[in-house]
Amino acid sequence: MPNIDLDSIVAIDIHTHAEVSTRVLPDEAEAEALEARGKYFRYEVKHPTIAQLAAYYRERKIAFVVFTVDHERGMGIRRISNEEVAESAAEHPDICIPFASIDPARGKMGVREARRLIQDFGVKGFKFHPIIQGFAPNDRDVYPLYEVIAEAGLPAIFHSGQTGIGAGMPGGGGLRLKYGNPLLLDDVAVDFPDMPIISAHPGVPWQEEQLSVALHKPNVYIDLSGWSPKYFEPKLIQYANTLLKHKMLFGSDNPVLMPDRWIADFDKLPIKPEVRPLILKDNAAKLLKLG
């Protein structure tokens, strides 16, 4: 179980990826997708283990949420198990918060897995990537999985907006961007008003839809990961400073965007001094019930 001293940390990164398993060998099928990702995000595809992530964040006094993405069906690539993520995170409870990822297409088995991960492994939330997993977030076939999450009072992160995964590959790697429209989360927020919903990343090209849903639905938040803050649209900055200052969350998207760069660019934005700590730490601490 996470045991984070909020007074000793300066921020909470709510969006980091576990990309390396210490239990199974790398999947050869992932090579093409990793090469395309490196070109799109212009970074060296060299990923840390969760233990290495923990050391990195501990040095910076930043707590972090970590998860894998269940992309086996959507991309034909073996996933890192949720159990490994949870157990590895449990070795660093002072700094690390485990989330899980389940492809809704796993159906009743996915529902069973979610219950087991909550009860036996102490995961603190769930990550969905509708584009990679090929589903509309408001598809009612997914609702039994949401019911488990809502019953436990845990948050769910949904990738929103375009994605760099599959970019440049033939047919975009078979991935369909339409599932990333944050307006689809409006139905989920109506039907699960007690489940915190995090719309991950600035929702380009649907930025206004994302802001509208977060403004209208009390249980919808926005994490600002995946984009350097210097590229944030003016309206996003305006809402972060005012109407949505209690619903914006710092996230990096590590390893494709490192928190050092994100925070350095965020420091240059015209964000009010009283709003900065809300976005960097306080909003996430409250949402994750850390204090």
What confidence tier does 41 reach under pLDDT thresholds 50, 70, 90?
A: low
CA dihedral over 176, 182, 185, 186, signed as positive or negative? negative
CA distance 105 to 80: 17
What confidence tier does 263 reach under pLDDT thresholds 50, 70, 90?
A: very high
Q: Residues 262-266: what's their mean pLDDT?
A: 98
Please state, for a pLDDT cut of 90, what percent of the chain lies above it: 81
CB atoms within 10 A of CB 242: 10
- Give the type of residue at 145: L
Please tell me the predicted confidence (pLDDT) of residue 73. Answer: 77
Q: Residues 175-183: what's their mean pLDDT?
A: 96
Fold of 6-287: TIM Barrel (3.20.20)
What confidence tier does 45 reach under pLDDT thresholds 50, 70, 90?
A: low
Strand partners, 64: 13, 96
Residue 196 Cα distances to 55, 92, 153, 190, angstroms? 29, 25, 8, 11
Residues 22-31 have pLDDT tens digits of 777 565 656 5
- Order across the sheet with 96-98: list the strands: 11-17, 62-67, 96-98
Overall pTM > 0.75: yes
Domain definitions of the chain by residue range: 6-287
